[in-house]
Structures are given as structure tokens and as C-alpha cells.
Amino acid sequence: MGKDKLRRFAENETFGLLYQPEFEEVFNKDYLMKGLWHKNVFKNDNPIVLELGCGRGEYTVDMAREFPEKNFIGIDIKGARLWRGAKSAVEEQMHNVAFVRTRIEFIESLFGPGEISEIWITFADPQIKRDNKRLTNSRFIERYNSFLIDGGIIHLKTDSRFLHEYTVAMATYNGYKILEEIKDIYGSGRADRLLSIKTHYEKQYLAQGIPITYLSFIPDKEKKPGEPEWDPGIYIVTPR
Ligand SMILES: C[S@@+](CC[C@H](N)C(=O)[O-])C[C@H]1O[C@@H](n2cnc3c(N)ncnc32)[C@H](O)[C@@H]1O
């Protein structure tokens, strides 16, 4: 392992806002902060917004700067990437930011019913062949429903037409309320302060001229989500 990575891992241990549960603490077990994020971590009742697969945490930190009346938690499995976001939040003494290094598959162990208001999924791997790993798959939506508030919003920002169209099909099939769909954020005139936050991966896709899409929807918590009968057809034209 490189020296820089080791230095980041060591510094991660010193960040009070970075939670790094052991496998045993989240595997088929409620994490000690489940249901307690408002009270014990943020010490307020403000809405909590999650970013899944946050990488360096650009959305988490930037949204936290813009919306001090909300709390933000970025989740990723890669500690060296999370270090960047955690370091910025510590340096800026931000009290509305936390990060968790864990697998998103364990997310039901982390949050209790009604604890989360919104979820951002930013540039997730579309998992074209492994649909049960796709973060907008019905199995994941079922997990999110266990802790979203009624009317909680899921936002998807992606470079992948496959992931975007799949998620539209999934949301439509399940009768979810679609709030907004944009096929090319920067070509549409809709790139406001929030939608134009650029992540590390996003900058690379933009440099390649790939349109960035956006979708927001409200899942129906009362219904078990199902998988759409969807033909990916033309959307499997690139590796993503
Ligand atoms: C393509 S990167 C995008 C990172 C960041 N959102 C960005 O736009 O720069 C996908 C991220 O998701 C994380 N990831 C993928 N699968 C995950 C999982 N099952 N649990 C936690 N993190 C995961 C990876 O570690 C990686 O940082």
C-alpha cells in the first residue's frame, strides 16, 4: 500500500465525523448510531440527507455549505477517497457533515425508520450485468424505504444512460412520483447551484463530452418494489 494511502488511513482515525464500523458491527446487526444520528451526532432535528457512493464527498460537503439547516452523511467503502471530504469538513469545522465508511449493502443496519429525508446517488457504477448490485435496483429501494421519511426524495445524477433509463423504467413500473427528469443537465439550462456541483468522476465524464443526466423521484413506501420488464437495448452501447 502506498505511503499516501497509509497516511490518509491514519488521519481518518482522528476525524470525529468519520464513522468506520467493523463488519461485525453492521452485518445482520443494528449499528450503535441507528436511530440516534439526530440526537447523538448532529444534536438537532434538521433533515438528514445521504450521499451514496460519495467518493471524495464533493456533494456532501458542498451541499452542507449551501444548506446549513440540513445535515449530510456521505457513505463509501473507500477510506482513501472519504479522507478528502472528511478532511475538508474538519478543516472548515462543519457541524452538519458526517461520513461512514461501509458497504451500502449494510445500510439498513445504519438508519432507523424515518431517519433520512433524501438520498443522492452520484455517478454510481451502473452494474449493467449485476443488477442486484445496482443502487436503484428494487432490492436497494426496499432498503431505502425502511429509513426514508414519507415523501422522501431519491436523486440520481449519472453519466450512464443505461442507469438513468433503467431507473426511469423502475420508477415508472412501480408508480413512483417522478419529480424531475433531465437528459442533459448542462445543455438544458437547468444547471443551478445544486445540480452543477461537480464530483471527481463527473469532471472526467464532462471532459469526454458525455451528457450528465438527473432524475428525482419519491418511492411509494407502502408497496414492495418490483423489477420493471425493461429492454436495455440501445443503452448498452458503451462500457457504462
Ligand atoms: C464511480 S465512483 C463515484 C464517486 C463519486 N460519487 C464521484 O462522483 O466522484 C463510485 C463510488 O461508489 C463506491 N461504491 C461502489 N459500490 C459501493 C458499495 N457497495 N458500498 C459502498 N461504496 C460503494 C466506490 O468506492 C466509489 O467511490
Alpha helices in 40-185 (DSSP H): 58-66, 79-91, 107-110, 138-145, 161-173
| pLDDT value for 240 | 53
- Length of the chain as a residue count: 240
Residue list, ligand 1 pocket, CB within 6 Å: 53-55, 76-78, 81, 103-105, 122-125, 199-202
| pLDDT value for 1 | 78
Q: Which atom of ligand 1 is nearest to the CA of 104?
A: 20
What distance in Å separates the CA atoms of residue 122 and residue 50, rounded to the nearest whole number?
A: 11
| pLDDT value for 233 | 74
Give residue 54 CA to ligand 1 midpoint distance, Å. 6
| pLDDT value for 54 | 98
Decide: helix, strand or coil at residue 121: strand
Are the CB atoms for 226 and 141 separated by under 8 Å?
no
**How far is the CA of 14 from the CAs of 43, 62, 71, 78, 224, in angstroms?**
20, 22, 21, 17, 41
Q: Which atom of ligand 1 is nearest to the CA of 200?
A: 9
Are the CB atoms for 121 and 159 separated by under 8 Å?
no
Are the CB atoms for 56 and 84 separated by under 8 Å?
yes
| pLDDT value for 88 | 98
- For the stretch 117-166, pLDDT in tens is 999 999 999 999 899 999 999 999 999 999 999 999 999 999 999 999 99
Low-confidence ranges of the chain (pLDDT < 70): 234, 236-240
Threshold 0.75, pTM exceeds? yes
**Ligand 1 pocket mutation, candidates 51, 72, 110, 123, criterion most atoms within 8 A of CB:** 123
**Ligand 1 pocket mutation, candidates 19, 56, 78, 204, criterion most atoms within 8 A of CB:** 78
| pLDDT value for 110 | 98
Report which protein residue has its CA nearest ligand 1's atom 5: 55
| pLDDT value for 226 | 96
Give residue 124 CA to ligand 1 midpoint distance, Å. 6
Q: Which atom of ligand 1 is nearest to the CA of 122?
A: 6
Helix (H) or strand (E) holding 208: none
What are the strands of the beta sheet with 116-122, ordered from one edge? Answer: 18-19, 97-101, 71-76, 48-52, 116-122, 148-158, 213-218, 177-182
| pLDDT value for 229 | 87
The set of cell numbers assigned to 19 is 464513522
Are the CB atoms for 37 and 71 separated by under 8 Å?
yes
- For the stretch 57-76, pLDDT in tens is 999 999 999 999 999 999 99
Give residue 100 CA to ligand 1 midpoint distance, Å. 12
3-state secondary structure 69-101: CCEEEEEECCHHHHHHHHHHHHHCCCCCEEEEE
| pLDDT value for 49 | 98
- For the chain, give every domain's residue range: 3-235
| pLDDT value for 230 | 81
Give residue 53 CA to ligand 1 midpoint distance, Å. 3
- Known catalytic residues are 125
Strand (E) positions, the chain?
18-19, 48-52, 71-76, 97-101, 116-122, 148-158, 177-182, 213-218
The set of cell numbers assigned to 118 is 433524501
Domain at 3-235, CATH from 3.40.50.150, 3.40.50.170, 3.40.50.300, 3.30.2130.30: 3.40.50.150
Report which protein residue has its CA nearest ligand 1's atom 4: 55
Q: Which atom of ligand 1 is nearest to the CA of 201?
A: 9
Give residue 167 CA to ligand 1 midpoint distance, Å. 17
Report which protein residue has its CA nearest ligand 1's atom 22: 76
